[in-house]
Amino acid sequence: MHELSLAQNVVEILCEEATRHGLSQVTGYKLRVGQLRGVVPDLLRTCLDLAGRGTVAEQAEVELEVIAGHAHCGCGEEFSVSELLFLCPRCGRPGAEITSGQELRLVEIEGD
């Protein structure tokens, strides 16, 4: 259920940005969520809806972009990963550096 905490943080940032840019309402925004962060997109949507009530973001449409996981191994191999428990498909070793899939970012806001 950390989706609710994440949603509350998103709404706080939306309210701050709305004030900063003189928006009386936020009509839409875009989130990038890494596949490896254990966020359930549908649950996050529900929580965003709850957290946004009574704020400038009450009517906002959210666009969720899920970012696929990738890793780079010391042996040079680049490969995609869908979870945090993985071994390099080429050399079989653990510990490859995760290069994407851990994002939790607000990247765009639309409003009036």
Partner 1 sequence: MTTVKVVRDILEANDRLAAENRRRFDEAGVHVVNLMSAPGAGKTTLLERTIAGLGRELRIGVVEGDIQGSQDAERIERAGAVAVQINTNGACHLDANMVASAVAELDLASLDLVVVENVGNLVCPAEFKVGEHAKAMILSLPEGDDKPAKYPLMFHESRVLLINKMDLAPHVSADPERIERDARAINPQIEVFRVSASTGEGLEGWYDWLRALHRA
Nearer residue to partner 1 within complex by CB, 54 or 94: 94
Quote the least distance from Cβ 54 to partner 1, whole Å: 19
The least distance separating partner 1 from the CB of residue 45, rounded to whole angstroms, comes to 14
Residue number, 6 or 57, with CB nearest to partner 1 = 6
Q: Give the residue from 100, 98, 105 showing the smallest Cα distance to 32.
A: 105
* Exposed / middle / buried, residue 85 (Cβ in 10 Å: 0-12, 13-18, 19+): exposed
Interface positions with partner 1 (CB under 8 A): 1-2, 5-6, 9-10, 12-13, 17, 21, 23, 27, 31, 37-38, 83-87, 94-95, 104-112
Residue 78 C-beta: closest distance to partner 1, Å: 19
Closer Cβ to partner 1, 54 or 83, answer by number? 83
* DSSP assignment string, 87-100: --TTT--S-PEEEE
Instruction: Give the whole-angstrom CA distance, residue 52 versus residue 67.
Output: 24
Give the sign of the dihedral formed by CA 61, CA 107, CA 31, CA 57: negative
